[in-house]
Amino acid sequence: MTFNTALPERSLREEYADFVAAGEGLYTLLELIEALKSQGTDLTKVRGLC
């Protein structure tokens, strides 16, 4: 599950989430999907992903 939030660190601590998107969540989600589809991609390169 992915959340788009203004408080990403808090959301990761307090909610059940695999990823948190800070900022423009739609663009982050699209980049995340592409990164997950191409196995071995470094997720730290996904903009806005916390």
Residue 17 lies in a domain: yes
Q: How many domains does the chain have?
A: 1
What per-residue confidence (pLDDT) applies to 3? 52
User: Is-contact 24 46, C-beta < 8 A?
Assistant: no
Q: What is the largest CA-CA distance in the chain?
A: 29
Query: pLDDT: is 19 or 8 the higher one?
Result: 19
pLDDT tens digits, 15-47: 777 788 877 788 988 999 999 998 877 899 999
In contact, 5 and 22? CB cutoff 8 Å = yes
Within-domain flag for 7:
yes
Instruction: Evaluate whether residue 50 is within a structural domain.
Output: no
Q: What is the pLDDT of residue 2?
A: 53
Within-domain flag for 26: yes
Helix (H) or strand (E) holding 20: strand 19-21
At 49, the pLDDT band (50, 70, 90 cuts) reads confident
**Domain membership flag for residue 39:** yes
